[in-house]
Every structure is written in C-alpha cells, then in structure tokens.
Structure 1
C-alpha cells in the first residue's frame, strides 16, 4: 500500500488539491451568489441549490475548457516548434513526428511496449496520437458544457430583466460568451509562455520541469 501511494503521489496530490479547491469554490460561490440575491431583493439559496445551478456549472466548465485547451495545444505545438534553452522543448533538429525507431513503434517496439505500439495500421496511428485526441475531446466537451450552462445562466439574467431569452447559437456568438471565454484563454497562454521562457534562465533543483542547476542557459530539453 505504501508503494502504491508513493508511486501515485503526484496524481493523488493534485486530485486532492482539485477537490479541495472545488469545494472551496462552491462555498465561496454560494456566499457571493446569495449576497447578490439579497442585494437585488431575492431569496438566498442553499449550498445544494447553488452547486446544481447553471451559474456554478458555467464557472467550473469555463475554467476546465481553458485548461484542457492549453494542454491540447501545448502537446500538439511542441511536436513541431522548439524553444532553445527550455526544458519544455525538444532539441533543435528533432522537430516533427520522429522515426519509428526513435518512437519504439512497429518492429522497433520492445517487449514491454504497449500492444498497440507494436500493432500496424489504424491502431498504431490512433495510439500514437491518443494523448492529443483525449485532451482535444475533453476540451470540446467542457466547452460544450460551458456553452449550455452559460446559456441557461445568461437567459435567467435576461428574463429577470424582462428581456427575451436567446438561443444557443445566439449565445455562443455573443460578446458575453467570448468575453468569458477569452479572459480564460489569454491567462493560460501567458502562463505557458512564461513557463517556457523563465525555465531557460531559472532553476528548481530536483524538478523534471527544470534544467539541472548547473546546466548552461542554452541547454535544451534537459531536466533536473
């Protein structure tokens, strides 16, 4: 059991942090929502009513979709683009999909390689791009969830102002939707660019996301 916990400590830690922050968001969100309700002459809601509302759903989904978009684009873009000196990049000259021998697929697969890495045809192709596909699908699903929940919350606000509700197409082409969406996207892209560039010159000893402390700034794709 101790070895199981140790071997899965990184994922377990972040899943626990996720659950704690989601719980905190739900409590703080309920309080903030009720403040607005009371200020506008409405009745406060319970925690359960809030976490099952479209308001909470859209706040959660819009953050999820921006995070998965970040990972999806980073996984795909780093296949082809490099950043000299960054441990987040491949070495210069290694751009592209690399050879079968380098990727250990087909006849170059080892005894412990996944079965689909050694397979031929569509199975190898699918497995070769499965991470990007999974991240892309999760992004699309969370973006769809954001649009549906956001539409419900947006129409609630419009009805409260005695305005006509809008359809899904009207909402996803509205300034409201893209204002909420792009404010999340820009922060994710800035964070990735900062990590790529700062890791050229700064170090975190022992972290696989950092170069070794003594590596030159020009060293690329090394980790400490």
Structure 2
C-alpha cells in the first residue's frame, strides 16, 4: 500500500484536492445563493437541491471547460511552436510530429511500448493523438454543459423578473454566456504563457517543470 501511494502520489494528491475544493465550492456557493434569495424574498434551497441546480452546474462547467481548453491548446501548440530557453518547449528545430524513431512507434517500438504503438494503420493514428482527442472532447462537452446550465440559470432570472425565456441558440449569442466563457479563457492563457516564459529565467529546484538551477537561460526543453 505504501509503495502504491508513493508511486501515485501526484495523481492522488490532486484528486483529493479536486474533491475537497469541489465540496467546499458547493457549500460556499450554496450560502451565497441562499443569501441572495433571502435578500430578494425568494425561497431558499437545501444543499442537495442547490448542488443539482443549474446555478451550481454552470459554475462548475465553466471552470472545467477553460481548464481542459488550456491543456488541449497547449498540447497542440507545443507540437509546432517552440520557446527558446523554456523547459516547457521542445528544442528549436524539432518542431512537428517527429519521426517514428523519435516517437518509438511501428518498427521502432520497444517490447514495453503500448500495443497500439507497435501497429500500423488507424489504431496508431488514433493512439498517437489520443491525449489531444480526449482533452478536446472533454472541453467541448464541458462547454456544452455550461451553455445548457447557463441558459437554465439565465431563464430562471428572467422569469423572476417576469420576462420570457430565451432559446439555447439565443443564449449562446448573449453577453452572459460569453462573459462567463472569456473571463476564464483569458486567465488560462495568461497562466500558461507566464509559465512558459518565466521558466526561462526562474527555477524551482527539484521540479520536473523547471530547468536545473544551474542550467543556462538559453537551455530549451531541459527538465530538472
């Protein structure tokens, strides 16, 4: 058990952090929602009803879609774009999908390589892009959930104001939807860009996301 926990520490730690913050978010959002409901003389919800509501759903989905968009775009961008001196980048001149030998696929695969890396045809094509496919799919599904839950929440507010509901196609063209979307996108792009550039000049000793402390600023694609 101790060996399993140590060997999977990163995934387990972030999994527990995810669950803890999701639960904390639900309670904080619930209190905020009921405070607003009370100030407007409206009925308050139980915690269970709030968690199942569109208000909570849209808050969660809009964060998920922006996070997975960040990783999806970064996966795609780092295939073709490089940043001199960044450990987050490939070496200059190595842009592109790289050779079969570099990627250890097909006849260059090793005995320990995944089975689909040792075959040719559609299975290799799918597997060689599988991480991007999954990240992109989760992003699109989360964005769809955000739009659906956001429309429900938006219409609930309109009904309280004695206004008619809007359709889904109408909602996704409104400022409410794009304000929720873009406020997350811009922060993700800033964070990723900052990490790629700041890691050129700054170090974090012992981290795989940083260059060794003594590595020159010009060293590219070097992990600590």
TM exceeding 0.5: yes
User: 1:121-142 deviations in whole A, cap 9, x for unaligned?
Assistant: 0000000000000000000110
The residue that corresponds to 2:123 in the other structure is 123
Tell me how many residue pairs correspond in the alignment. 224
TM superposition shift of 1:49 = 1.0
Q: Does 1:136 align with 2:136?
A: yes
The residue that corresponds to 1:15 in the other structure is 15
The residue that corresponds to 1:105 in the other structure is 105
Structure 1: distance between partners of 2:16 and 2:25? 14
Q: Greater shift after overlay, 35-44 or 78-87? A: 35-44
Query: Please, which runs of 5 or more residues in structure 1 have no aligned partner?
Result: none
TM superposition shift of 1:57 = 0.2
TM-score by length of 2: 0.99
User: 1:55-90 deviations in whole A, cap 9, x for unaligned?
Assistant: 000000000000000000000000000000000000
The residue that corresponds to 1:39 in the other structure is 39
The residue that corresponds to 2:66 in the other structure is 66
**RMSD value, Cα:** 0.5
Structure 1: distance between partners of 2:197 and 2:112? 36
TM superposition shift of 1:43 = 2.1
Q: Does 1:114 align with 2:133?
A: no
Structure 1: distance between partners of 2:175 and 2:28? 27
User: 1:161-215 deviations in whole A, cap 9, x for unaligned?
Assistant: 1111001100111111001100000000000011001100000000000000000
User: 1:11-44 deviations in whole A, cap 9, x for unaligned?
Assistant: 0000100001001100100110011000001122
Structure 2: distance between partners of 1:123 and 1:23? 39
Partner secondary structure for residue 189 of structure 2: helix
- Please give the residue correspondences for 1:147-162 in structure 2 after superposition, counting only pairs within 5 Å: 147-162=147-162
Q: Does 1:181 align with 2:181?
A: yes
Partner secondary structure for residue 25 of structure 1: helix
Query: Please, which runs of 5 or more residues in structure 2 have no aligned partner?
Result: none
Structure 2: distance between partners of 1:120 and 1:219? 35
The residue that corresponds to 2:57 in the other structure is 57
Partner secondary structure for residue 180 of structure 2: helix
The residue that corresponds to 2:96 in the other structure is 96
Structure 1: distance between partners of 2:129 and 2:58? 29
Structure 1: distance between partners of 2:157 and 2:212? 53
Q: Does 1:25 align with 2:10?
A: no
- Please give the residue correspondences for 1:193-212 in structure 2 after superposition, counting only pairs within 5 Å: 193-212=193-212
User: 1:80-121 deviations in whole A, cap 9, x for unaligned?
Assistant: 000000000000000000000000000000000001001110
The residue that corresponds to 2:222 in the other structure is 222
The residue that corresponds to 1:79 in the other structure is 79
Structure 2: distance between partners of 1:99 and 1:206? 30
